[in-house]
Amino acid sequence: MMAECSPEAYRPFRRILIANRGEIACRVIRAAHAAGFETVAVYSEQDRDSLHVLMADQAVHIGSSQPASSYLNIASICNAIQASGADAVHPGYGFLSENAEFAQAVLATGAVWIGPTPQSIRAMGNKARAKELMLAAGVRCIPGYEGLDQSDSNLLAQAVKIGFPVMVKAAAGGGGRGMRLVLSADQLPNALARARTESMQAFGSEELILERAMTCAHHVEIQIAGDVFGNVVHFGERDCSVQRRHQKIIEESPSPAVDETLRTRMGVMAVQAARSIHYVGVGTIECLLNNDGEFYFMEMNTRLQVEHAVTEAVYGVDLVAMQFELAQGSALSMTQDQVQFKGHAIEVRLTAEDVAAGFLPQSGVIARWQSPEYLEGIRVDHCLRDDTIVSSYYDSMIAKIIAVAESRDLALARLSGALKQTVVLGIPTNQPFLSAVLEHPEFRAGQATTDFVERHRSGGLLDQQHPDSRTVIWAAVAAQGLLDTFIAVDTPQRDSNERVLASVISTITLHAMAAGVTAQAARSRTQRWIVALQARPDGVLQGRLETGSGTEPNPWIALRHRPRDFVSTCADGVVEVFVQGRAWAFKLDDSAAATHTQSANGLIRAPLGARVATVLVRQGERVKSGQTLAVLESMKMEHAVIAPFDGTIDELKVIEGAQVRSGAQLMRVTALLA
């Protein structure tokens, strides 16, 4: 039996340091400000201009971009606590959130730790020790090995005893890191080596456990909360069965696989587990649920979960605000009888990944971000804006989109609609894959289990898709700079003051882009289109695809109306468009086209998000082809804006020192008449 927590460790505070980054840091900062607390952000070199840094009242630099030098650097974060005058620390999730030594170090600074005691973290933060405690308490656990002998020879012997397939897991953490499914004995040595490396990088520990692989089950977890007086309640369950690489990507509450009787049984177990370690704060008990209704304890997460938002939506609670209250020594504000859920909530994790290449994480710059959070029943947790850098140093999740409604069907409909109105340009994401999962009959029926993605991998769920003809033509229009200059009308009547396009045909060659390096992705790079664009005398722009193979081209398509949801960016020889609920990227045929995309018809746009360092021309000034018109500065590099031809500056829309986003109009050059 563990010693009870010290009530003195939980007391009032006024200034919270958030020892994390990204969307969870933004989420905690918003909740803290709403509750009247001051906030302190910490940031690595990579995150110097991140949104969470701008949102906080203070910000402290804690090290270089590598996590080990910053967000995993206990000494650096403790120095930030003292330098900022913070008297409480919220760890978020991931990084050091389940590190007992970090919690102890925070307490040693005199600050309040917004979370369970270090003793509780040690008891449940390590999967091996947690299973030992639960087994001693009579809780059913997945059969496996949690021993101290970590030699390869012993782990192989234990795996044979358990029976293949087995799951290798990092004992010190979660989130799918340090986790490998092993189908046979010959695969085990490599799996152990990779799991140890990944676990050390993520959690600072190489300790592993083995478990019997239950590959066709529901992953169900119970949300609990406990106070310093020994009261514990649960807030029902979440279903997190849809996963890739053993990491969750879609979560919902309540679970379609759990009825009221089972919910009560699982809740009783979760509350008992939390009470056994005198748990204070918000936490989660994770289980696997078989088709026969039997469930097995896997682990306890002694922190806030990524998927906490779906529980908040159906139970009407703010779990972060509850963490603040419990960390100040307050009693829970409700009893179990008062905990009631209403409706249904579903969440998807939007990640920067190339799905067709095996969910390969991607890094780069988000040129355009538009959130659907204005829609009814939709919540979006993110730390994004135009020109946000997605770094290879950190997790690939960039946002969470949550829908809540009276029924599961309506929540699904709302989430599908919101996902199709979420614009991310500049970097590949899993957005089309998420839409496909939400529309899949098995998921819609609530029958998806942990092997759902793998079972449907060969059924087209992960295949690289291809754009239709109209999408390609609209991409060519955007690449040619014609979106703002062509006049699409249905009748030949025209106002004499309107700009008239010459009735000429231009062509542009586009290549499909794929982020991955797999054979399938490489093949998609060979797909190319030659697009012919023509401005008719009546002002209607039309286009068609030419195959380039000697066959007849497709018919002309009149582009009378720009698609309602159309968004585009164009920079560095790449045009990206968002249309009909998804993004596409095309590379132009040659390097000369990169300049052309920025200046066709004299419209000059910013090729990247940047600060305007210098403006070298004035309104009405004559310029020569190739003349430098302005200089942009971004990430300590300069980019010259060049005149595309001889002409006159007839629109000048920037001033020195201004920040411009990628694709923003800077000026227009009108060609001199011959």
Tell the residue number behind the tokens 């090729």, with chain if given.
Answer: 607
Closest C-alpha to 443, from 183, 378, 451: 451
**Alpha-carbon torsion angle 640, 646, 652, 654, nearest 10:** 0
Strands (E), 482-621: 505-512, 528-535, 541-546, 557-558, 567-571, 574-579, 582-588, 603-605, 610-615
Three-class secondary structure assignment of 390-420:
ECCCCCCEEEEEEEEECCHHHHHHHHHHHHC
- Single-letter residue type at 536: R
Q: Residue 190, Cβ neighbours under 10 Å: how many?
A: 11
Tell the residue number behind the tokens 């940031």, with chain if given.
Answer: 43
Strands (E), 352-502: 353-354, 360-361, 364-366, 368-370, 378-382, 388-390, 397-405, 423-425
DSSP assignment of 236-256, as one string? EEEEEEEEETTEEEEEEES-T
Helix (H, G, I), strand (E, B) or coil at 641: strand
Exposure pattern of 107-134 as b/e (b: 16+ CB <10 Å)?
Answer: bebebbbbbbbbbbbbbbbbbbebbebb
What is the helix (H) or strand (E) element at residue 454, kind and residue range?
helix 452-455
Note if 303 is an active site residue. yes
Helix (H, G, I), strand (E, B) or coil at 348: strand
Which pairing describes strands 88-90 and 15-18: parallel, antiparallel, or unpaired?
Answer: parallel
On the 0-12 / 13-18 / 19+ scale of CB atoms within 10 A, 459 is exposed
- Phi/psi zone of residue 653: left (φ > 0), alpha (ψ -120 to 50 degrees), beta? alpha
- Phi/psi zone of residue 204: left (φ > 0), alpha (ψ -120 to 50 degrees), beta? left
Write out the two tokens for 657.
Answer: 């020192």
Residue 120's beta-bridge partner residues?
none
Write out the two tokens for 40.
Answer: 């302190």
Question: Pick the catalytic residue: 27, 303, 368, 379?
Answer: 303
The set of catalytic residues is 303
